Structure 1
Amino acid sequence: MPYRPLAVLAACLLSLACLGPAEACTSIRIKTTDGAVIYARTMEYAEDMHSSVFVVPKGSPLVGTLPDGSAKGLSFPAKYGFVGMNAFHQPISCDGINEKGLVVGALLFPGYAGYQTFEPAEAGKTIAQFDMANWLLSQFATVAEVRQGLAGIRVCQGPSALRGVTFGPLPVHVAVHDAAGNSIVIEYTDGKLKVYDNPLGVLTNSPDFDWMRIYLSNSVNLSAVNASPKDLSGFKIDPTGQGSGMLGLPGDFTPPNRFLRMVALTQSASPVSGAQAGVTLAMTIINNVDIPLGAVRDVSPAGVERDVTQWVAVADTAGGRYYFRNYDNKNWRVVDVKAALAKAGSTLMIIPTTGPADYPDVTATAKPMP
């Protein structure tokens, strides 16, 4: 990585500290030894996002949103069907997997996102930033195709309200993974498109992705191997227990430290074989950034906002299965992408994510110990 002066690092830290309340999202990618690619992400937000699983069949007439809120931007009928999560009851996805195994996650990017200027003459090529997941999931099968396709659109700042629902500016950057394990991050800053290779497969929020990669240099000492005892002039110091190689791994919920924690855990976890083992590993690792209600708060004259992990999603790119759980029900549920698209036919559909916790009672299965 290129050397950056300390002054630049200090400036980035200062800008991060000056941000307003920043909602938290985290995404990871797991590769198994036999080539399965598994994606997982969390969605944190202080306001209830009213998310449902969103089923968008092939051929659905999708259109980009212009800054004035009109649906008169780029017309992009769905080349591929996809399943994901929407938000605020809107037909707009913030996460999902398509029938070709392409996975997209839009994560909040406050304080740094800066989209392209709106040019009326280019309205037919324009989408809002919150249309990006719909566009990517519906049009492309691979990361290579995404790279080529980005040159043909303009991404502008969309409205803060749509169809009577106010949701704010929604600054986002986007993680994209394909079924072969290729990964990129798409960011718009200062009106310019930036596309980064993401071999680690991890993304959180602000600052920008380039800064996050530099931040990893602070923790090159972390290791999955326990630290060795030290002999200091005849006085022996032993590690206090298991996990001493990861001593100093941050446990807070700031975006840089969630990024670091996910890199450390995805890179140190023992390799697994098979999609189901990959799903289990992804679920286990992503649990490490769950935010309990009340643990992250922003206090202002307007009141108290509490970030919370509203839902978590996991996608098996080869098997075409989309798993999810929410805050109130920790049991994972799964949607078969192919079957959901077949059921939808040509109609946009949703699958509710809310409902009471469902924990099977296995008391009656008790039997004498052999």
Structure 2
Amino acid sequence: MKTLLLTKEEVDGLICMHEVIGAVEEAYKAFNSDQVVQPDYIGIHLPSPRGEVDFKLGYNKANEVISMKASSGGFIDNPTAHGVPSGMGTILLFDARSCALTCVMDGSLITGLRTGAAGAVSVKALARKNAKTVASIGTGNQARMQIRAINEIMTIEEVHAWDSHPDTLARYKRDIETEFGIPVVTANSKREAVEQADILVTTTRGIGSLVAADWVKAGTHIVAIGTDQQGKQELDPEIFRNAKVVVDSMAQCAEKGETWHPLNKKIIAKDDIHGEIGEILVGKKPGRENDREVTIFDSTGMAIQDNVAASRIYQNAIDRGVGTFFEFFRS
């Protein structure tokens, strides 16, 4: 059996954001339909100036694919010291019927795409139908990806953005306005941005509360992306007290997500969490029920998202004759 190798450039040409959004919806539905085996993911923090490496493993019974992704970030010296990016990713796909390795592909683009798509899926399920304004706390690559994805499923009339680095904020404004034609208002403070939000996106990898509870207006939908390990935090835990809290994975978010903070402070209990987003998508639980609710989507990232998105890329590559085959196993 031959194994397919797909480079970053090849992966980039094999899937679009619209298709990734569909794949992520499929992944969440599978997760809440007893089609997924997904062990806890492992994170390793390496000594400075190195960063962290995460390993995510998942089995999808629906497509009989096992995926394993290694993704790194925060290796700030990589470009100068080693000639490689500061963050990288690799995905391995195995045929679950034989455990043969079917594909090795670059995973750095998939992580960004499926994380952006997750935010868009939550907007479809939980944001007000008349939402028009997005506020972005953080203006890095994932903040751009969130706009790219959300713009696929609604009309964004204006973005209010804040970042602690003025140069990064200025580049974000230029890039979003150039790519999408959406006006970007650069806020003088986090509060100024948050108070304008119909949809609030946080993507900072923060280590403390960045958004205060009294800044968040009624009816806001919050897409909390930056917290995927204990020690990270973006939201005032008080925001959770009266909000409808939806998570991607209850097990992950209660241990490693933004939701850990209000649970740890006993502001909410696990029973107060409304549910997993897949439960809403398959109709087991309602989404937004009125225009006054504050809704929170806590996303830690799931192996099944990588599994479904990478499987679709692999199939597209086979259909289009893209990539290089090599013989990895011999009988």
Question: Normalization by structure 2: what TM-score?
Answer: 0.29
Question: Normalization by structure 1: what TM-score?
Answer: 0.27
